[in-house]
């Protein structure tokens, strides 16, 4: 079975680095359990899954689009509000910023489904901006069960 290609280009977050001269960190779970998935890795997966879903729906419009995840925007000329994504029409690139998207809602009841919907919404809105469509028109049957 062929693996599907990676759609998201993650930014190196320095995992396993040496902190305070103590040497490299080992896995918290040890060798007997599966490794823990960090919030950043879960975010990358959700963005990749959503991008893959949208590519299946809009193959012609999204052909050659690069999806990228970054922790925070690094542009020194930020607007007054913190951007949650950046769309580059010339390079056909969508960059989703993890920390602003994760902090959109501050509800203490957030569970995994709520977090997934927040991330998917950001990707849908960024792609809609890229191809000049309404986000609800990208996948009209996606949330029809609610």
For residue 145, pLDDT over 60 is answered with no
pLDDT digits 0-9 by tens, 62-118 = 999 999 999 888 877 666 778 889 999 999 999 999 988 888 766 666 788 888 888
pTM of the model: 0.72
pLDDT of the residue at 67: 95
Average pLDDT for the chain: 80
- Contact yes or no for 106/133 (Cβ under 8 A): no
For residue 50, pLDDT over 60 is answered with yes
pLDDT of the residue at 58: 92
pLDDT of the residue at 91: 93
């Amino acid at each position: 079975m062929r693996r599907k290609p990676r759609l998201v280009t993650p930014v190196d977050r320095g995992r396993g680095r040496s902190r305070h001269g103590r040497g490299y960190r080992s896995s918290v779970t040890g060798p007997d359990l599966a490794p823990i998935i960090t919030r950043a890795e879960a975010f990358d997966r959700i963005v990749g899954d959503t991008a893959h879903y949208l590519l299946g729906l809009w193959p012609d419009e999204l052909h050659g689009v690069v999806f990228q995840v970054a922790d925070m925007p690094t542009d020194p000329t930020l607007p007054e509000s913190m951007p949650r994504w950046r769309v580059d029409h010339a390079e056909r690139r969508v960059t989703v910023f993890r920390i602003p998207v994760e902090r959109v809602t501050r509800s203490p009841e957030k569970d995994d489904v709520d977090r997934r919907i927040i991330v998917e919404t950001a990707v849908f809105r960024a792609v809609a901006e890229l191809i000049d469509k309404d986000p609800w028109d990208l996948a009209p049957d996606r949330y029809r069960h609610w």
